[in-house]
A and B are shown apart, each in its own frame.
Chain A
Amino acid sequence: MFEGESVQVPVGPQHPALKEPTSFMLTLQGEKILQIAVRLGYNHRGIEKACEERTYVQGIYLIERICGICSHSHATCFVQAVEEIVGIQAPPRAQYIRTIVAELERIHSHLLWLGVAGHEVGFDTLLMYSWRDREIVMDLLALLTGNRVNYGINTFGGVRRDISPEQKADIFTRLNALEERTKYYVSVATQETTLINRLRNVGVLSPADAVRMGAVGPTARASSVDRDIRRDDPYLAYGEIPFKVITADCNDVYGRTLVRVGELMESYKMIRHALEHLPDGPIAVKAPRKVPAGEALGRYEAPRGEDVHYVRGNGTEKPDRVKVRAPTLANVQAVAKMLEDRYLADLPIVVAAIDPCFSCTDRLTEVRRADGPSSVLHWEQLRQYGIEWHRRHGIDFSKLNNSFRCPEDH
């Protein structure tokens, strides 16, 4: 169509393909992508800094809200790091319960992904079905932990809720139903022509590139990179639960789909094994409120890949520094590579295939010259800038100020 000339198409910060704001500026020639510029940062919430102003206990719930989907991953990763500094260990039963919730979370995350992937390629029926079946595991999580998302099962030194024998039986029944459904999705993903056409040879990432770009999780494993923290650096109860690390050598979105549905099948087995071998004993040990000076690194295989939390304590109730490396930060670099010489139509599914979570990823970095002024706007300055900007565009917000005040600010 626009032969010879190229056209710039913004996908984001607001776009139906994206569930969170982020920006992909595409340079297209016809339908072909010539260039892609990724810009993150629309979702920065300052959680790392906010952690420094809160006690460790408060921190768990804040950390848990880094991501709505892998909330347990972040919370567990953080809790493990803190427990390491303090020098306590959760009792075995707590470790198993954490593992069970972790795998349930992986199931819900991968089923969610399957639906999103279907939606991105216009296969809404797949979305409706996989999300319907995801309700089974969501209800299960609500039953075990008290909520469908942000489970809040972790506390320092253990878990907050035990699993009763009735709940155990319930999990077994529902897992059987889920396993049946997952088998069906495997057959759909490997047999439906239109779906395979949209996934096969799309978003290719060679094994060498996957390693070079630091891809993690299913994105890396679909490119034959055999890495899984659960096996390579066992935490929780993973050292005692047998499981296979699923890899694929397709290097494309199809491979990433196969890896995820394969991991679903593994998760069912792992949960069954964990429930059958659930040790008796307490579910938590007492943890001190003050964390001694020291530092620790938590590693965790989240559904989207390796999650890393660094925590430094200084002997008080509040951490000195918390640093989060969410899996999407590792994977997002590879997206531009995957989209080289591809079509506009492939963008949504390729971006979705890394299962991105941009709010987990966004960070603020201030680059300051030793002598120069700071480029950071402070809250009042930003507010003033916003008011000025709108006034120039004919909207005067200063008159509306009071009507937006929250009751507690009076």
Chain B
Amino acid sequence: MKRPGRMLAEVLRSALRKPATVLYPFVKILMPEHFRGRLHFIPEKCIGCKLCMRDCPANAIQIIKVADKQFRCEVDLARCIYCAQCVDSCPRKALEASREFELAQLQRKDLFMRESPDPSKVSAPASEQPKTESAKSEPAPANKPANG
């Protein structure tokens, strides 16, 4: 039974219903609980095995020793592909994937995540201390192979 306007009833019904789309970004939609969003680092748990660095497909993660048994984690969020393989690889669950997905930034340097252990707990030699503090404004260290 061919006829033009088969969807007429459906579209008229839709006009009376609440729209399916929302006015993002004024209305937010939450991602499910186990979403693989922005990474978070729990410095106390890290043992510096660097398994996450070995498995990262995008070479986005760096674990840097700041003191004895104290590690800093740096993730280039622009490189990260949010596969959360590092979360799976980590034997101590020191990395977590969060539900955060709105990661756009106006400046490339803001796409750099650096999570350090609490400075008060760091029993670092004096020479290491200023490096951690000034690092916030510095660009990424060059110890990563340029992969292009």
A and B touch in the complex (CB under 8 A): yes
Q: A residues near B, CB below 8 A?
A: 54-55, 57-62, 64-65, 125-126, 129, 132, 135, 139, 142-143, 146-147, 150, 152, 155, 160-161, 184, 187-188, 191-194, 196, 406-410
Indicate which residue in B7, B34, B35, B109 contacts A192 across the interface (CB closer than 8 Å).
B7
A289 CB → nearest B CB, Å: 9
Interface of B is mostly: loop
B51 to chain A, nearest CB (A): 10
Binding site for A on B (CB under 8 A): 1-7, 10-11, 20, 31-32, 34-36, 54-58, 76, 78-79, 81-85, 88, 97, 108-109, 112, 139-140, 142, 144, 146, 148
Contacts A/B (CB < 8 Å), 15 sampled = A57-B57, A58-B57, A61-B83, A65-B81, A146-B32, A147-B35, A147-B36, A152-B84, A160-B88, A161-B34, A192-B7, A408-B76, A408-B142, A408-B144, A410-B139
CB neighbours of B4 from chain A (8 A)? 192-194
Do B140 and A407 touch across chains, with their CB atoms under 8 A apart? Answer: yes
- B31 touching A142 by the CB < 8 A rule? yes
- The answer on a CB contact under 8 Å between A193 and B32 is no
Contact of A152 among B32, B54, B83 (CB under 8 A): B83
Q: Is the interface of A mostly helix, strand, loop or mixed?
A: helix
CB distance A57 to B6 under 8 Å? no
Q: List 19 extra interface pairs beyond A58-B56, A407-B139, CB under 8 A.
A: A55-B54, A55-B55, A59-B57, A61-B81, A64-B83, A129-B7, A142-B32, A146-B32, A146-B34, A146-B84, A188-B6, A188-B7, A192-B3, A192-B5, A193-B2, A193-B4, A194-B4, A406-B108, A409-B148
Pick from A54, A143, A191: contact of B57, CB under 8 Å: A54
Q: How many A-B residue pairs have CB under 8 A?
A: 90
Question: How far apart sit A212 and B125, CA to CA, in the bound complex (Å)?
Answer: 73
B83 proximity list for chain A (CB < 8 A): 61, 64, 150, 152
Cβ contacts under 8 Å, B54 to chain A: 55
The 4 closest A-B pairs by CB, nearest first: A58-B57, A192-B6, A146-B36, A61-B57
Q: How far is the CB of B139 from chain A (nearest CB, A)?
A: 4
Q: With a CB–CB cut-off of 8 A, which chain B residues contact A125?
A: 7, 11
Complex Cα distance, B144 from A406, in Å, reads 13
